[in-house]
Amino acid sequence: MISSNLLSLRRKIKVVCDRCHRDYNDIRLIVVTKTVKVEDIKEAISSGVHEIGENYIQESARKFKYLKNNALKWHFIGKLQKNKTKYAVGIFDLIHSVDNFELAVEIDKQSRKINKIQDILLQVNIAGYVNQNGVSVNEVCDLAARVSELNNIRLKGLMMLAPFFENAEKVRPFFKKLRQIKEQINSLNSDKLKLDILSMGMTADFQVALEEGATMLRIGRAIFGERQ
């Protein structure tokens, strides 16, 4: 099932890319493996998956012991607590969910300890929901500038969690706004601020996200089914 689901998903991504005149090979599929068994992740790997996304540090560390020799790229896509930062920089190639300067400073500190340059994304609260993580739209450019001055962090782009609608078309303005913020930051022509990643789009809305410029899709349910 996993291999056939991946094949179907890749075909859908390819169709959208062709329609939008985008290069399918430029799109990175981050397979969300939260609560997924190691055996099922290995099946996905055998079907060509090489980037996975995890939400919890403790669960990730347990899986890392069994999967670290599989040439995977590891993405942290959940809420990162400052006291778990040292574990995150030891496992993850890209941390998607940085939303404040204090957390960025801690990531920089822990990365320096292991002589690592940690790639990160800024999570933006596009919808402005009070109960959602992410830096506000009005503050993201300032945070990007401040983070770019840290020596052991490399800011690669932006991430968002879109609000859910039955009609995915309603999410389009939110995806478009994140792309516009990325373009705004890049227009500053700073050598330290060259963003190329837009991490947005999940199972229910990835096609619209692709149309609006997503470069990373975070998809789990379409591959592994509903979470148990």
**CATH fold group of domain 2-224:** TIM Barrel (3.20.20)
- Tens of pLDDT, residue by residue over 46-81, are 999 999 999 999 999 999 999 988 789 999 999 999
- Tens of pLDDT, residue by residue over 186-201, are 998 778 889 999 999 9
C-alpha distances in Å from residue 2, one per residue of 31, 72, 87, 90, 167: 11, 17, 29, 29, 26
Task: Please state the rounded mean pLDDT for residues 136-153.
Answer: 96
Please provide the average confidence, as pLDDT, over all residues in the chain.
Answer: 95
- Supply the pLDDT for residue 228: 55
Domain residue extents for the chain: 2-224
Sign, CA dihedral 165-198-99-145, equals negative
Model-level pTM? Answer: 0.96
C-alpha span between 103 and 183 (Å, rounded): 24
